[in-house]
């Protein structure tokens, strides 16, 4: 870690802001073992656990420990596990339950003023305080111990049809919060708040706000910029040594009818590195320039410490919705690998920066254009995982075609101005990608579809959900199925794992319930 980061972390420790019953800040800088302290398990986004009590030789003995039903709708959150307690959310709700038994400890219900209730990805924790976003655009802080509200702050404008769904990320004394907005022709942004007071520290807009701003030359005018989209509804990742925050951004607007936004439309559909103390951009890489297919790049940027050509490199990998796997040097954003992880037909090549070059014939047409992937994307928001043990990047993927039509040919189109229809769905699968080359090492197809979040472990396992409401364990080296349990509903996000009293648990959300499976220490 660089000196400023070390000093800031030590200052928090010496100030006593991390209580004995709260989250120990040192856990944020370690692989998750007896805890799962943040959305991705740690800052890297790998969703990898070093635990081996559950492994490929004994996973068949994994048994149900408990289940907890909320009764308020589907759970899309990743639970956090801290000091034997699980904290998780659904729109307008947060719960704390005993991680060993599933017994409810407290439940907080927000009195909503509206907003889109499509889902909530989870909560963030700082010391003895918890943070979550509400559909009606508030960032709320609760006491970790009893769920009582401390404060709430407005993070977006409900009247402009923004809403909140993303799990906050805590970096030292910054609560990082994104915004959501389905089909919203307003600018996306990322904000940082003081964890104690809720005061706004900085705000970074994903699209330029005026001429002369970085990226403004990729838009035709200021009006197009200010209605440019680029929402930030994926949880970022972070490198403490470089002190860089890695943010992925949504699609530009209007998304299908694109006549009034000529240019690459930075920094939409991009991976951007920011300084978390100031919100200043260090570098960017655009996955889909001038996106016309609703392929936002809001997938998880996964940090990998590996080797390229025998040299150690600090890397960041992204399996994007547009069907391409990208590997970058995370110190400067230089592209090292660009490779499709499902068949695609929308690009006519790769430029010298590693960015796909859109084929104009595959942009939406009045009489239709057959395009792969479809609007749902080659992957979507459910998180991937990376195992340093196998060197493989695992992602839930789909092969599908659809026909993209444009029906608003006006010079200033309104709304989407087009749509996609029909096509063919050729199936879903887990793709295991060699991070060094982008080549598929193995592929495990699902007979009934499905594309859930994933988690890998040092026990040579990958956990995920299939299309038949099962939690499944795959062999991380070969992709062979080893174990499954039917949950009665599809897996809502990526599983997590932790160890308490020598027993390893795997917890996953499905429908309105949490399910916990356990392997006792033998």
Give catalytic residue positions. Answer: 294
Torsion of CA 350, 353, 354, 359, to 10 degrees: -30
- Burial classification of residue 199, based on how many CB atoms lie within 10 Å of its CB (0-12 exposed, 13-18 middle, 19 or more buried): exposed
Give which of 187, 173, 182, 185 is closest to 129, Cα–Cα: 173
Q: Specify whether the CB–CB gap between 232 and 250 falls below 8 A.
A: yes
CA atoms within 13 A on the CB side of 137: 14
Q: Are 297 and 290 spatial neighbours (Cβ–Cβ below 8 Å)?
A: no
Q: Is 279 left (phi over 0), alpha (psi -120 to 50) or beta?
A: left
**Cβ neighbours of residue 298 closer than 8 Å, sequence gap 6 or more:** 231, 232, 233, 234, 248, 249, 250, 321, 381
| CB-based contacts of 224, cutoff 8 Å, min separation 6 | 260, 261
List the beta bridge partners of residue 483: 473
In Å, how far are 159, 283, 291, 333 from 280, measured between CA atoms?
28, 9, 24, 15
- In sequence order, what are the beta bridge partners of 350? 356
Say if strands 48-49 and 455-457 run parallel, antiparallel, or are unpaired.
Answer: parallel
What is the rounded CA–CA span in Å between residue 65 and residue 85?
15
Burial tier of 117 (Cβ tally within 10 Å: 0-12, 13-18, 19+): middle
Beta bridge partners of 86: 81, 97
56 upstream amide cis, omega within 30 of 0: no
The two structure tokens encoding residue 403: 């026909």
DSSP 33: S
95 token code pair: 């719960």
Q: Is the distance from CB of 22 to CB of 82 less than 8 angstroms?
A: yes
- For residues 130 and 87, the answer to whether their CB atoms sit within 8 Å is yes
Q: For residue 438, which of 324, 343, 304, 333 has the smallest C-alpha distance?
A: 324
Q: How far apart are CA 470 and CA 466, in angstroms?
A: 6
């Amino acid at each position: 870690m660089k000196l400023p980061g070390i000093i800031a972390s030590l200052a928090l420790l010496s100030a006593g802001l991390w209580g004995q019953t709260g989250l120990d800040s040192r856990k944020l800088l370690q692989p998750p073992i007896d805890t799962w302290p943040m959305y991705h398990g740690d800052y890297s986004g790998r969703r990898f656990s070093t635990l081996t009590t559950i492994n490929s030789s004994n996973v068949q003995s994994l048994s149900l420990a408990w289940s907890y039903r909320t009764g308020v709708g589907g759970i899309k959150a990743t639970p956090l596990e801290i000091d034997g307690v699980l904290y998780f959310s659904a729109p307008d709700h947060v719960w704390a339950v005993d991680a060993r038994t599933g017994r409810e400890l407290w439940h907080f219900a927000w009195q909503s003023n509206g907003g889109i209730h499509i889902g909530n990805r989870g909560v963030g924790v700082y010391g003895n305080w918890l943070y979550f976003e509400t559909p009606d655009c508030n960032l709320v802080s609760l006491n970790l111990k009893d769920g009582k509200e401390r404060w709430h702050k407005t993070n977006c404008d409900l009247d402009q049809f923004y809403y909140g769904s993303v799990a906050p990320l805590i970096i030292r004394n910054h609560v990082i919060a994104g915004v959501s907005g389905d089909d919203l022709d307003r600018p996306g942004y990322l904000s940082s708040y003081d964890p104690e007071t809720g005061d706004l520290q900085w705000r970074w807009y994903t699209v330029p706000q005026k001429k002369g701003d970085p990226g403004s030359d990729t838009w035709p005018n200021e009006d197009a910029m200010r209605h440019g989209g680029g929402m930030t509804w994926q949880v970022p990742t972070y490198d403490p040594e470089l002190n860089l925050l890695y943010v992925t951004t949504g699609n530009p607007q209007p998304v299908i009818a694109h006549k009034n936004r000529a240019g690459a439309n930075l920094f939409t559909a991009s991976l951007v590195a920011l300084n978390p103390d100031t919100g200043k951009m260090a570098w960017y890489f655009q996955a889909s320039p001038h996106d016309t297919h609703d392929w936002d790049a809001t997938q998880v940027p996964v940090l990998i410490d590996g080797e390229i050509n025998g040299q150690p490199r600090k890397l960041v990998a992204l399996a994007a919705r547009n069907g391409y796997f990208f590997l970058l040097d995370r110190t400067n954003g230089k592209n090292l690998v660009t490779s499709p992880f499902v068949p695609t037909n929308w690009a006519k090549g790769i430029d010298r920066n590693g960015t796909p070059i859109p084929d104009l014939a595959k942009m939406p047409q009045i009489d239709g254009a057959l395009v792969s992937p479809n609007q749902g994307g080659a992957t979507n928001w459910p998180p991937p995982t990376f195992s340093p043990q196998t060197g493989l990047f695992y992602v839930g993927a789909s092969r599908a075609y659809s026909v993209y039509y444009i029906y608003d040919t006006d010079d200033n189109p309104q709304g989407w101005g087009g749509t996609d229809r029909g096509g063919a769905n050729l199936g879903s699968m887990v793709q295991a990608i060699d991070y060094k080359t982008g080549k598929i090492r193995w592929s495990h197809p699902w007979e009934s579809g499905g594309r859930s979040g994933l988690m890998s472990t040092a026990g040579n396992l990958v956990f995920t959900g299939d299309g038949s409401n099962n939690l499944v364990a795959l062999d991380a080296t070969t992709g062979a199925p080893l174990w499954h349990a039917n949950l009665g509903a599809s897996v809502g996000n990526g599983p997590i794992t932790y160890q308490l009293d020598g027993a390893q648990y795997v917890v996953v959300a499905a429908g309105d319930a949490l399910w916990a499976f356990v392997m006792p220490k033998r």
